[in-house]
Structure 1
Amino acid sequence: MARRPATPNLPPDDLVERIVDIDVATEMEGSFLEYAYSVIYARALPDARDGLKPVQRRILFQMSDMGLRPDRPYVKSARVVGEVMGKLHPHGDSAIYDAMVRLAQPFSLRLPLVDGHGNFGSLDDGPAAPRYTEARLAPAAMAMTTDLDEDVVDFVPNYDNKLQQPDVLPSAIPNLLVNGAAGIAVGMATNMAPHNLVEVVAAARHLVMHPDATLEDLVRFVPGPDLPTGGKIVGLDGVRDAYRTGRGAFRTRATARIENVTARRKGIVITELPYMVGPEKVIEKIKEGVQSKKLSGIADAVDLTDRAHGLRLVIEVKSGFDPDAVLEQLYRATPLEDSFSINNVALVDGQPRTLGLRELLVVWVDHRLSVVRRRSQFRLDKRLERLHLVEGLLVAILDIDEVIQVIRTSDDAEAARSRLRSVFDLSEPQAEYILELRLRRLTKFSRLELEREKEQLEAEIDELRAVLGDDVTLRTLVSDEMAQVAATYGTPRRTILLESAGGSAVTGAPAAKGSSRGAAVTLEIADTPCFALLSGTGLLARTATDEPIERTPDTRRAKHDVLASVVATTTRAEIGAVTSRGRMVRIPMLDLPALPPAHGAPSLGGGVPLSEVVTLEPGERVVALASLAADAPTLALATAQGVVKRVTAGDVPGNRDAWEVVALKDGDEVVGATQVTDDDELVLVSSDSSLLHFGAAQVRPQGRAAGGMAGIKLAAGQRVVAFAGVPAARVGDAVVVTVSGSSTALPGTQAGSAKVSPFEVFPGKGRATGGVRSHRFLKGEDALILAWVGAAPAWACGSAGQPIDLPELDPRRDMSGTALHAPLHAIG
């Protein structure tokens, strides 16, 4: 049988546990109200006067008390956090460090108040631990804490009643409007947009001198927010609502421009993002949109941001898509366009209130008037106290012998103090100050110093009394100090304000189609007629329209103005490039940059080099462009050995990027190509100046594998230097340009002599004959180094694209040329 435990001794009646019955609803209500009160007033909402939450205010005050001024060395952030937590804010180190980090981030605050050294985070990543980072006050923070030792604000006890902390900072900067605020309390929240310091100060100064100023008067100085990351604000109606009622919304857009990111493709370059949007978030959303088929026309998106060049996101656009339309699509589907909701809730006289622009400025202006008034009164009291002592000291110095006698004959300090007061009619502070006087102050020089100090004190006292006695003088002083703050810490506006989204967000670009938020956007480039252009220096481009290309005197000096080959096509079609190896290489027109319309012939300075579009073998070059359309005329080409061929129209393989158009013999190469009809004339010019032309109908079209037929009969050691097709309608205005020189000179080193003759003076002969002489050689010349046949006028350029003048038209066929001043590279 188990034994029962012994009965313990019972406690006295006053120690007996008492259970108190309480109503749970009443207890929860009271506890929740206490919690809500604490969150609202001591954590989440800023004070409208200095724009700071309690933790932020305590950080700045403690750093100022530690002497961490901008001209002092950095200290570990952990030390600052420890000082703040131990003395003022016992709520955890992480909350303090997070608040300090935000005060140091230039992308969070328009005017940072903490100067951080180390990794203080980015929009996509958090900061390093406080043991790794360092901090000190930023220059602007000195204006927030200035004059704290002059009784400008009230001080309150800290959490354990051992120290004193300011109830609010003097805040010479309108911090709440300049840096904004964000916080979530119980039953309420605040979200305020940053503004430009210079604009806010200008509005505040106007309000200081015109207390009855209306909101419309102030909006003239503050047109809208100025975000730390720049960008664009689209639509200002919500901003005006917020300025009037304290609540509103606006949309922010990234700053973007269209650039050539590669020689063949355009891209969208982002240099500024909406407020609090990070580049990694944008890249992630773009990739998600491409994978889910919500975004089209995007080839790649990369982040090229670095410290040297700042933010730079490059979004490469696929060929065939309009970059402006793709950008509008990105605005709708990614954070490149974001919304910002304004909710101006702040504490005013200890109560949370929703404030408009005028109310926010009134609170700060009244605070600055109070600060300057209290500072002036403090300085006045200090100067009156000092003047009182100086006057007593002057009395003692004037009769110093008697003062010394009184002190020497007194029994103790108290007796000396009493006798000094009675003999010289001094106050107790004056008598005490004289007793503490050092003997070195009894010189004649010290007396002069005291007299000058007295005069200066009297002048300063008069100024301070004027400030305190006249409201206009006080307001003028406050306004002048505001202007000094704006001049010291102000920066130019970063954010562009747009009334609506009607204009394109791309700098210098016209409005994109479908710029309204809900409209459909045509992404692909329309298949419109245009021309494909090949310059004499090897640049490819396309025209923006199919308007005829006209050369005028004002374009003669433009670089790359020699058009070696021109093909009529459409924007989304494909053309071919005929090479010297007898190949045809396919080129999509969308790979070529579009040149804007110009006065006269378009300049190909914006073209893309052949090597970026066409893959060539060593020693291979492009001789002409050709249309690949099924209804295009047949392609005629000629080789250096005098072979001529016409390729059957439409003989284009659909699954190959390059194919052979003529079977060349060993050592032979294609020297020219053009598209002709049976009515056109084919022209071949040989190196010994023989020119032969005959009807294109004499050359029957052949398949791609054929080797062609005899075109011109060449003498031993000679070769064809030029081949062209002259349309039947242009025979009357065609010209022949020949350039002679020495066959032993290196290419591009001799200028030679040139002749321009009418095509009509050269008689036609049958195919496979020798032709007629087109150029008479001078002494030292033995060959044609360059020739060209085509519609007048003829243009020539050097190797760098610089224009070179050709001689005037010579109606004689068999004549010598005129010496040139520079070597020719191409004629067109």
Structure 2
Amino acid sequence: MRKSYLDYAMSVIVARSVPDIRDGLKPVHRRILYSMNESNYVFNKPYRKSARIVGDVMGKYHPHGDAAIYDAMVRMAQDFSMRLELIDGQGNFGSMDGDPPAAMRYTEARLAKIANYLVDDLDKETVDFNANYDETAFEPVVLPAKYPNILINGAVGIAVGMATSIPPHNLREVIDATIALIENNNLSVSDLNKIIKGPDFPTGGIILNKEGIKSTYETGRGSCTIRSKTSFEDINKDKKAIIIHEIPFQVNKSRLLEKIAETVNNKIIEGVSDIRDESDRKGVRIVIELKRDVEHEIILNKLFKFTPLQSTFSSNILALNDGKPEQLNLKQILNAFIVFRKKIITKRTIFNLNQSRKKAHVLIGFVISNLNLDKILNLIRKSKNTSEAKKALMNEKWRLGEDIIELVKLIENNEENLVSSKYSLSEEQSKAILELRLHRLTSLEREEIKTDLNKVIKEINNYLEILNSDEILFKKMKEEMNIIKEEFSTERKSIILENQPDENYDEIKYIQKEDIVITLSHRGYIKRVPLKNYKSQKRGGKGRTGMATRDNDFVSQIFVVSTHTKLLIFSSFGKVYSLNSYDIPEGSLQSRGKPIINILPIKNDEIVSAVVPLPINEEEWNKLYIMFATSFGMIRKNKLIDVAKSGQQSLRESGKTAIKLNKDDKLIGVNLCRDVEDTFLSTTDGKCLRFPIAKIRLHQGLMSKGVKGIKLKDKNKVISMCTLIHSKIDISIRKEFLKYSSGMRKDNKTNGENSDFIELRKQEEFIFSITSKGIGKRSSAYEYRIANRGGYGITGIIKTNKSGDVINSFPVENDDEIILVTNGGKIIRIPVKDVRIAGRSTKGVSIFKIPDTEEIVSVTKVKLLDYE
């Protein structure tokens, strides 16, 4: 079994999948080219049916399926597969869209002109021949290629236990590098890389990653990134289109379009309004129309990132060298070709030398016959027949002059016919003399014979010079390659970028930095509006929330950030999503926005619990913590960077678990915080607990449930979490200040405060609390003493049967507004300054009168923003 498997593996490697380093061909391609040349289906002859070509190859040399032979033949005729097509096809030979070629009975083909330089000199004993599979014909082991086809057209193949992937190159560069190496074999791979800049793909494109090219040429392994060649066109005043002119090598154009459409439909790329394929025989032209006012550079770079518009070509230069698979660097490939060409030229020269000597040998006989014409005619007349005449000529010794003797020594392989300046005619010479027509005996014809002889002598001297001098041989080699270069070289199709683009592409560089207002509605509609569209709130002005309310919808969150701000979106299921603020659709002041489920992969039953804007300067992330709170009273403290930097791609594409929740538990709040602040938790029964963030244990992972923040009685739940300034004031001073400030508010006086109270008043925060029946108040944050986590808390507002459950508590400022919404669809907006300030352990007052059958279900704090 082991031996059989090894035999099979070597058969696949040598006879099927790996190209020969000398001609760059696999056996099937070599057999196709040889068969077409043998049948004279060459470039200057009429096209022949592909079915006939395939039949010849299969019947004589390649005993495999006709489909495989036709596929191999088709590839050699495709200008998007081959840098220089070896077959000139007529008919449908497939397309970049992956369309199959027409059946072989319809298409026609012949050898391309460049292929002539692969099969040329086959008839001059330059390569070895083996018997075909049934020993009825012979086929060449290798073609006597005159140029390094293995580099120019490349090769791809999968064998057993190994694979090859050789990129195509520019003919001019390859020949120039080969000639340079002939002239100086001490050139390094780096020196050759200066001549061969890199691969040159038939489909063009832009090549990135020069280090990958360098690795490929030095080790035989490496990769390069191919980017489509694109441009921008203006469709109208504020709309652009991305035009794709060239696509990466081996990328199926039809599938590329499908992938682009898929990324657009799946909201991975937004801002595309239409995709059209306008490609024709002149080349590729894909038009991607963009929506109004989108950043075209961002869309293009997302296309490079998420579609095959940018792809990687991995190189593995594996080829058969002396019949063995070897991984080779650039210099080894070129050296192997130079050695091969030297052998071919040597064999061809020997063949030509022998042919010239044979011709000169006969011409020497003619010269001797002219010098001894009467004697020869006399011998012929005396002979009874041709055979006797031939023997008479051969037996005669012919005296030669010194000039003829020197020619004989040059021409003859041995000097047996020349003894003591006398020459014996050979059988070939005697036969040629007897077959000589009488008109060749005229004086003009005798001169022509001498001219022919001198010409042949010159050829012989030329061949001997080549064989005796490597310098002349290499000169001949360079001349032949230069002829090919002059006739077939073209400009590079693939551009190699000297200045590599930043691989860590940051699309934010293309976003104009400006302040924006982001609003999120209760029903999950989100939008952004430039802050410049608002004006500062005038004292006593009515103000606006920045979104029109409709269908019982209202603004649930509103905040001002920059277009460079990154947002973390947390859902009630404990998941976190990442969103760039500039990816939020821009809207007008009165527009509703776009459903957030169309921007992020949020489920229909998921509710956005918190939107956390992150500092633009990512260095600040290391200094911040993030606090989670759940409805069951669990809290958890993490470093912000552990959440914001955790699997950034999955944060954007599918979200990630931020906190593990118990059954029926929900995430109700997420805050950025520092150790110098306090966390404030509130519950449905009016309890609240304030404790220092510095005393909370720091968690490392995101899959834990955290620790108990506040104990709950019965079926109570935590309804809010907020962050307060940490207070270090003495209890007695705090009590005195609260008593004093309460009295001052009643009398509406601020004069006469001592310096300590003035400072406390500047730092004073107020907690707004509201119940489901519209009972609410403001209380000084100083009234909520600092305790340890895990307790039951203290009363924040007295709950009664009439007041209903507490639904929210959070810090407010005097210029804020509160929006209250009932389950019956009623909405009211109340300025915070109109809400009464009362003590912590009080019931509060009626803020919103609602029917007995309704309850408040949502409370939102907004800033006062007005129209420009």
Shorter-chain TM-score category? 0.5 to 0.7
In the aligned structure 2, how far is the partner of 1:283 from the partner of 1:198? 34
Q: How does 1:289-688 map to 2 (within 5 A)?
A: 289-307=263-281, 309-423=282-396, 424=398, 425-499=424-498, 501-502=500-501, 516-517=503-504, 519=506, 521=508
Contact 1:279 1:313 in 2 (8 A): no
Q: Structure 1 pair 197/573, CA: closer, same or farther in 2 (3 Å)?
A: farther
In the aligned structure 2, how far is the partner of 1:468 from the partner of 1:331? 55
**Worse overlay, 152-161 or 319-328:** 152-161
In the aligned structure 1, how far is the partner of 2:66 from the partner of 2:185? 43
Which residue of structure 2 aligns with residue 53 of structure 1? 26
Which residue of structure 2 aligns with residue 71 of structure 1? 44
Contact 1:326 1:523 in 2 (8 A): no
State the 1:443 CA deviation: 2.5
Q: Structure 1 pair 501/318, CA: closer, same or farther in 2 (3 Å)?
A: farther
1:335-379 CA-partner distances (Å, limit 9, x unpaired): 000011100000000100001100010111111111111111111
Q: Does 1:188 align with 2:187?
A: no
Which residue of structure 2 aligns with residue 672 of structure 1? none
Contact 1:271 1:311 in 2 (8 A): yes
1:764-783 CA-partner distances (Å, limit 9, x unpaired): xxxxxxxxxxxxxxxxxxxx
Which residue of structure 1 aligns with residue 724 of structure 2? none
Contact 1:321 1:523 in 2 (8 A): no
TM-score, normalised to structure 2, is 0.56
Q: Structure 1 pair 467/297, CA: closer, same or farther in 2 (3 Å)?
A: same
Contact 2:238 2:293 in 1 (8 A): no
State the 1:262 CA deviation: 4.3
Would you say how many aligned residue pairs link Structure 1 and Structure 2? 502
Contact 1:63 1:137 in 2 (8 A): yes
In the aligned structure 1, how far is the partner of 2:303 from the partner of 2:278? 18
In the aligned structure 1, how far is the partner of 2:592 from the partner of 2:299? 30
In the aligned structure 1, how far is the partner of 2:437 from the partner of 2:532? 98
Q: How does 1:258-277 map to 2 (within 5 A)?
A: 258-277=232-251
Q: 2:210 aligns with which of 236, 251, 262?
A: 236
Q: 1:148 aligns with which of 122, 135, 141?
A: 122
In the aligned structure 2, how far is the partner of 1:407 from the partner of 1:476? 49
Work out the percentage of aligned pairs sharing the same amino acid. 41
- Secondary structure at 2:76 match in 1: helix
1:454-475 CA-partner distances (Å, limit 9, x unpaired): 1111111111111111111111
State the 1:30 CA deviation: 2.5
In the aligned structure 2, how far is the partner of 1:139 from the partner of 1:571? 67
State the 1:412 CA deviation: 3.5
Which residue of structure 2 aligns with residue 201 of structure 1? 175
Which residue of structure 2 aligns with residue 689 of structure 1? none
1:214-235 CA-partner distances (Å, limit 9, x unpaired): 2122111112111111101111
In the aligned structure 2, how far is the partner of 1:435 from the partner of 1:184? 62
Q: 2:83 aligns with which of 101, 105, 110?
A: 110
Contact 2:220 2:317 in 1 (8 A): yes
In the aligned structure 2, how far is the partner of 1:464 from the partner of 1:261? 67
Q: Structure 1 pair 302/573, CA: closer, same or farther in 2 (3 Å)?
A: farther
Q: Structure 1 pair 629/286, CA: closer, same or farther in 2 (3 Å)?
A: closer
Q: Does 1:40 align with 2:13?
A: yes
Amino acid of the structure 2 residue aligned with 1:79 = R
**Worse overlay, 277-286 or 401-410:** 401-410
- Secondary structure at 2:301 match in 1: helix
Contact 2:239 2:293 in 1 (8 A): no
In the aligned structure 2, how far is the partner of 1:301 from the partner of 1:521? 25
In the aligned structure 1, how far is the partner of 2:115 from the partner of 2:236? 46
In the aligned structure 2, how far is the partner of 1:86 from the partner of 1:55? 13
In the aligned structure 2, how far is the partner of 1:492 from the partner of 1:571? 52
Q: Structure 1 pair 211/264, CA: closer, same or farther in 2 (3 Å)?
A: same
In the aligned structure 2, how far is the partner of 1:629 from the partner of 1:206? 66
In the aligned structure 1, how far is the partner of 2:531 from the partner of 2:357? 87
Q: How does 1:729-808 map to 2 (within 5 A)?
A: none
Contact 1:46 1:52 in 2 (8 A): yes
Q: Structure 1 pair 572/177, CA: closer, same or farther in 2 (3 Å)?
A: farther
Contact 1:265 1:318 in 2 (8 A): yes
TM-score, normalised to structure 1, is 0.58
Contact 2:58 2:66 in 1 (8 A): yes
1:307-348 CA-partner distances (Å, limit 9, x unpaired): 2x4210011111231000110000010000001110000000
1:667-702 CA-partner distances (Å, limit 9, x unpaired): xxxxxxxxxxxxxxxxxxxxxxxxxxxxxxxxxxxx
- Secondary structure at 1:261 match in 2: strand
Q: Structure 1 pair 306/395, CA: closer, same or farther in 2 (3 Å)?
A: same
In the aligned structure 2, how far is the partner of 1:573 from the partner of 1:92? 72
Amino acid of the structure 2 residue aligned with 1:210 = N
In the aligned structure 2, how far is the partner of 1:218 from the partner of 1:472? 21
In the aligned structure 1, how far is the partner of 2:379 from the partner of 2:247? 80
- Secondary structure at 1:449 match in 2: helix
Which residue of structure 2 aligns with residue 21 of structure 1? none
State the 1:522 CA deviation: 7.3
State the 1:407 CA deviation: 2.4
Amino acid of the structure 2 residue aligned with 1:82 = G
Amino acid of the structure 1 residue aligned with 2:3 = G
State the 1:410 CA deviation: 2.2
In the aligned structure 1, how far is the partner of 2:388 from the partner of 2:260? 89
In the aligned structure 2, how far is the partner of 1:91 from the partner of 1:484? 37
Amino acid of the structure 1 residue aligned with 2:297 = D
Report the RMSD for the aligned CA atoms in angstroms.
Answer: 2.4
Amino acid of the structure 1 residue aligned with 2:57 = V
In the aligned structure 1, how far is the partner of 2:169 from the partner of 2:149? 9
In the aligned structure 2, how far is the partner of 1:654 from the partner of 1:345? 61
In the aligned structure 2, how far is the partner of 1:275 from the partner of 1:572? 47
Contact 1:235 1:499 in 2 (8 A): no
In the aligned structure 2, how far is the partner of 1:110 from the partner of 1:261? 35
- Secondary structure at 2:195 match in 1: coil
- Secondary structure at 2:299 match in 1: helix
Contact 2:88 2:109 in 1 (8 A): yes
Q: Structure 1 pair 453/572, CA: closer, same or farther in 2 (3 Å)?
A: farther
Q: Structure 1 pair 241/158, CA: closer, same or farther in 2 (3 Å)?
A: same
In the aligned structure 2, how far is the partner of 1:520 from the partner of 1:217? 37
Contact 1:229 1:272 in 2 (8 A): yes
In the aligned structure 2, how far is the partner of 1:220 from the partner of 1:311? 30
Amino acid of the structure 2 residue aligned with 1:482 = M
1:268-298 CA-partner distances (Å, limit 9, x unpaired): 1000000011321111001111122211111
Which residue of structure 2 aligns with residue 126 of structure 1? 100
State the 1:381 CA deviation: 1.1
In the aligned structure 2, how far is the partner of 1:516 from the partner of 1:447? 78
